[in-house]
Structure 1
Amino acid sequence: MNLNNIQNIYFVGIGGIGMSALARYFLANNKHVAGYDKTPTEITEALSSLGVHVHFNDAVEAVQKPFLNPETTLVVYTPAIPKNHTELNYFLNNNFKVLKRSQVLGLITENTFCLAVAGTHGKTTTSSILGHLLHECNVEVTAFLGGVTENYNSNLILKGTEVSVVEADEFDRSFLTLSPNLACVTSMDADHLDIYGEADALKQSFIDFTKRLKPNGKLFVKNGLPLDGITYGIEDDADYSVQNIKITNGTYVFDVKTPKITITNIAFNLPGRHNLSNALVALVMAIEYGCSYEQLAKALASFKGVKRRFSYHIKTDNLVFIDDYAHHPEEINAVHQAVREMYPNKKVLAVFQPHLYSRTRDFIDDFALSLSKFDELLLLDIYPARELPIEGVTSSWLLSKITNKNKQLVSKQALLQKINESNAHVILTIGAGDIGEQVKLIKKSLSVES
């Protein structure tokens, strides 16, 4: 398909973080863009402010007339859309060109020098750092991101079309539509078992992804993963490694050992060893692309982070409020490590909203272990996303397995009161559902109380 011949792009699920990045991209390339989503959000409001028509009722008659021409319209959808969706089925049954988001991403990037970031954790932060590094090194880059970067206040970095940075998403095997020049794999922990069935099938999909590299392509692998490639790690014997880590006023300062030289006194402002690992592989990929060490060190120090990735909303001597997207036990462990490293001996309250019934069921004991590490826990009901309830899988079941005695199940209506009753120094909101929508309310409530 030649995207140059398409005038109209219609998105079914336009409010998704990856979908909205594509919408912004096509809008910047003078296409007519519109779409549907289930509910209004900050993302849909931002798109509307750019002139994108977004509606929230699943009805063909709500679609603007120019987008109902199959000759001039491409329809893009996300796998999170249910199979009985009225609009999507209309497009499928009436000779429209209908592609998944990942297929469109593959078409856009196939004629670029593509850098792809894969892994069950760390994709968004790593790709955001990488996009920022290349942008600051004056590379003609477009970066499609799964989060809103603080530096650009956007999930799209648009500086040129020669180079692309993409998240290689394992969900629904989406990453098998990509053909990158450089790729990394940050992690391969079991996840999305509702799609894969078992961990071995997920592992095989990562192996299949590594075979998608273009001729003479390079693969970068976190040390210890069962893949062949150039290795990177923290304080170990990898090909590229972080050494001599210090924390100065909340900032990591460290050296990077490369196969050729050691780069000294690099600064990075995001807390947590997991973020240090993400920064390292982004640096490595930018080095291998051809950026200079000096430019990269300066660019990394100026990276401000990604919204909902260890995002500070209150940071005072008496109170800290942090919001994070963590929705897998290993991600919660990483957040816990970061907060304990930055705030040793301080009382920490975690507010967690589980995401998906199937993920809660598949990792129930691991979630219990991760959440038990916090001093105090408030647990919200499971956010269903694309799923129907599974009998017996509830937040009450998860709560019963958590060993922390200072725990309770709360409703969204009672959440602010329960948070304000706590005497914790650090408050964390964690989860990938709509808990992010509560952050402004929590911040306002805590500011009033303090």
Structure 2
Amino acid sequence: METYHFIGIKGTGMSALAQILSDSGMPVQGSDIEKQIFTQEALENKDIKILPFTEDNIKEGLIIIAGNAFQDDHEEIKKAKELGLPFYRYHEFLGEWIGHYTSIAVTGAHGKTSTTGLLAHVLDKSSAISYLIGDGTGKGQENSEYFVFEACEYRRHFLAYKPDYAIMTNIDFDHPDYFKDIDDVFESFQQMANNVKKGIIACGDDEYLQAIQAKVPVLYYGLNDSNDFHAKNVRIDEYGTHFNVFVRNNFYDTFHINSFGDHNILNALAVITICHYEGFSASQIKEIVSFQGVKRRFTEKKIRDQILIDDYAHHPKEVEVTIEAARKKYPDKEIVVIFQPHTYSRTKTFMNEFSKALAQADAIYLCDIFGSARESQTDLTISDLQALISDSKLLNFENIEMLASHNDSVLVFMGAGDIQKYQKAYEKLI
């Protein structure tokens, strides 16, 4: 049997896909940089070999799956093409693989990973499924009926998929290094909608999703009464959020999630809608309450009298809802945000929006911008953002002890780069 070789196996999607193929009985190996990345623990637990990058890894008898972060001039990709090995980009391979199942793609500017994780959790309790989550988690089963996967709009990669169903959480302008404007983003989602074979589950509270044209049924969910599935009578307590769900204005059932914030209610509604449509019972769907979350999405730990939260938020809207969730869960505590912007292009495009979103916190610390390999350095610095946020401070490893002055508070470390290094340094300090 030929071995699948993943070029860039520590990428979140790549790691998850490698686990799925391994679980399905395929020989799998991969290569990547030698720096420790949080995704590799799951690969190591499944005895998937991780090699340092070198063209010597590429030999006859391999099927190559290359991560989208690596260009055609990468040494391993060049060697694979010289040898004429079967070669796929990540999204191309996934596009073929999902054909074996009833596939459910989860897409949207925000909330993809959390919604994919929640849906996979609920379905996994009641049927044989495979899933690919954007936090690097993947599971494969040969007898799977469903395949749940995260589908990213960046560079229109999600157009490689022709899923049975698509959940669309929202449409927002992001990835300004690729998309021109919100209309360009909308057009990509419209193209995605045209690829869906059975049905679309879309957030009807989103004005752009309201405008999507589709050849398949569209079920809308949201907090507004006009949606096919909507939530009412929201109640918050120390255990999470409770709400009633109405289907076309008829009471369906009461649900409980152990998370906070309207965005988490919407994620749950997306899952309730698709599961109801596929014939699952309310009692099966109520497993949403036992979901413990995905990696790097409001991941909490308590140290002394502080709560430390790690979150992937890297767009102004995500920053806003993460702060809102922290407020709702800890209404009596000071909310302190430590934010590392991700990419110069995103920081420049959303400078004012970031300043307004971050200003919702009680105290704000800013870390240097995390640049991407796919963009060139600019003269923009973190000081440009700091100038727009009164009372914000710049944080580095030399002055990180400042965070200890916030007694009985919530520290939210936010960003899509390597913000965890600041949290680790602070934990080590205290």
TM-score w.r.t. the length of structure 2 is 0.92
Q: Residue 36 of structure 1 aligns with which residue? A: 31
Q: Residue 256 of structure 2 aligns with which residue? A: 267
Give 2:281's match in structure 1, choosing from 292, 306, 309: 292
Matched, 1:431 2:425: no
Matched, 1:59 2:54: yes
Give the distance between the partners of 1:420 and 1:207, measured in 2 at CA. 48
Preserved contact between residue 321 and residue 443 of structure 1 (Cα < 8 Å): no
TM-aligned CA deviation for residue 49 of structure 1: 4.0
Preserved contact between residue 232 and residue 241 of structure 1 (Cα < 8 Å): yes
The AA in structure 2 aligned to 1:307 is: K
Deviation by residue 1:318-376 (Cα, 9 ceiling, x = unmatched): 42221111010000011111112222253211011111111111211111111122111
Give the distance between the partners of 1:218 and 1:189, measured in 2 at CA. 18
The AA in structure 2 aligned to 1:222 is: G
Q: Residue 368 of structure 2 aligns with which residue? A: 381
Matched, 1:179 2:174: no
Matched, 1:12 2:7: yes
Give the distance between the partners of 1:159 and 1:335, measured in 2 at CA. 37
- Secondary structure class of the residue paired with 2:365: strand
Give the distance between the partners of 1:293 and 1:159, measured in 2 at CA. 27
TM-aligned CA deviation for residue 424 of structure 1: 6.0
The AA in structure 2 aligned to 1:34 is: Q
Preserved contact between residue 159 and residue 192 of structure 2 (Cα < 8 Å): yes
Preserved contact between residue 201 and residue 274 of structure 2 (Cα < 8 Å): no
Q: Residue 417 of structure 1 aligns with which residue? A: 401
Preserved contact between residue 201 and residue 270 of structure 2 (Cα < 8 Å): no
Q: Residue 186 of structure 2 aligns with which residue? A: 203
- Secondary structure class of the residue paired with 2:84: coil
Preserved contact between residue 356 and residue 387 of structure 1 (Cα < 8 Å): no
TM-aligned CA deviation for residue 441 of structure 1: 4.2
Unaligned runs of 5+ in 2: none
Cα pair distance change 1:354/1:147, threshold 3 Å: same
Map 1:277-356 onto structure 2 (within 5 A): 277-297=266-286, 299-314=287-302, 318-356=305-343
Aligned length: 422
Cα pair distance change 1:41/1:177, threshold 3 Å: same
The AA in structure 2 aligned to 1:46 is: A
The AA in structure 1 aligned to 2:262 is: R
Give the distance between the partners of 2:115 and 2:154, measured in 1 at CA. 17
Q: Once superposed, what is the RMSD of the aligned Cα atoms? A: 2.1
Give 1:256's match in structure 2, choosing from 237, 245, 250: 245
Q: Residue 213 of structure 1 aligns with which residue? A: 196
Preserved contact between residue 17 and residue 146 of structure 1 (Cα < 8 Å): yes
Matched, 1:238 2:227: yes
- Secondary structure class of the residue paired with 1:121: coil
Q: Residue 399 of structure 1 aligns with which residue? A: 386
Preserved contact between residue 8 and residue 31 of structure 1 (Cα < 8 Å): yes
Give the distance between the partners of 1:307 and 1:365, measured in 2 at CA. 29
Give the distance between the partners of 1:417 and 1:82, measured in 2 at CA. 40
- Secondary structure class of the residue paired with 1:391: coil
The AA in structure 1 aligned to 2:415 is: G
Give the distance between the partners of 2:41 and 2:64, measured in 1 at CA. 21
TM-aligned CA deviation for residue 176 of structure 1: 0.7
- Secondary structure class of the residue paired with 1:120: coil
The AA in structure 2 aligned to 1:258 is: V
Q: Residue 122 of structure 2 aligns with which residue? A: 133
Percent of aligned pairs with the same amino acid: 29
Cα pair distance change 1:157/1:74, threshold 3 Å: closer
TM-aligned CA deviation for residue 115 of structure 1: 0.9
Give the distance between the partners of 1:277 and 1:81, measured in 2 at CA. 34
Preserved contact between residue 344 and residue 378 of structure 2 (Cα < 8 Å): no
User: Is the deviation greater in 435-444 or in 112-121?
Assistant: 435-444
Give the distance between the partners of 2:181 and 2:107, measured in 1 at CA. 19
Deviation by residue 1:267-314 (Cα, 9 ceiling, x = unmatched): 1001211111111101111111111112111x1111111121111111
Give the distance between the partners of 2:172 and 2:189, measured in 1 at CA. 11
Cα pair distance change 1:211/1:351, threshold 3 Å: same
Give the distance between the partners of 2:30 and 2:157, measured in 1 at CA. 21
Give the distance between the partners of 1:437 and 1:24, measured in 2 at CA. 26
Preserved contact between residue 162 and residue 195 of structure 2 (Cα < 8 Å): yes
The AA in structure 2 aligned to 1:308 is: R
The AA in structure 1 aligned to 2:298 is: F
TM-score w.r.t. the length of structure 1 is 0.88
Q: Residue 151 of structure 1 aligns with which residue? A: none
The AA in structure 2 aligned to 1:277 is: L
Cα pair distance change 1:418/1:91, threshold 3 Å: farther
Q: Residue 59 of structure 2 aligns with which residue? A: 68
Cα pair distance change 1:414/1:287, threshold 3 Å: farther
Give the distance between the partners of 1:420 and 1:251, measured in 2 at CA. 28
Preserved contact between residue 110 and residue 178 of structure 1 (Cα < 8 Å): no
Cα pair distance change 1:441/1:409, threshold 3 Å: closer
Preserved contact between residue 24 and residue 140 of structure 2 (Cα < 8 Å): no
The AA in structure 1 aligned to 2:380 is: V
Deviation by residue 1:178-232 (Cα, 9 ceiling, x = unmatched): 1112212111110112122332211100000000011x43443433333243211
Give 1:46's match in structure 2, choosing from 42, 49, 58: 42
The AA in structure 2 aligned to 1:170 is: E
Give the distance between the partners of 2:45 and 2:147, measured in 1 at CA. 26
- Secondary structure class of the residue paired with 2:135: strand
TM-aligned CA deviation for residue 388 of structure 1: 4.1
Q: Residue 144 of structure 2 aligns with which residue? A: 161
Give the distance between the partners of 1:237 and 1:424, measured in 2 at CA. 42
Cα pair distance change 1:363/1:334, threshold 3 Å: same
TM-aligned CA deviation for residue 440 of structure 1: 4.2
Preserved contact between residue 261 and residue 328 of structure 2 (Cα < 8 Å): yes
Preserved contact between residue 255 and residue 266 of structure 1 (Cα < 8 Å): yes
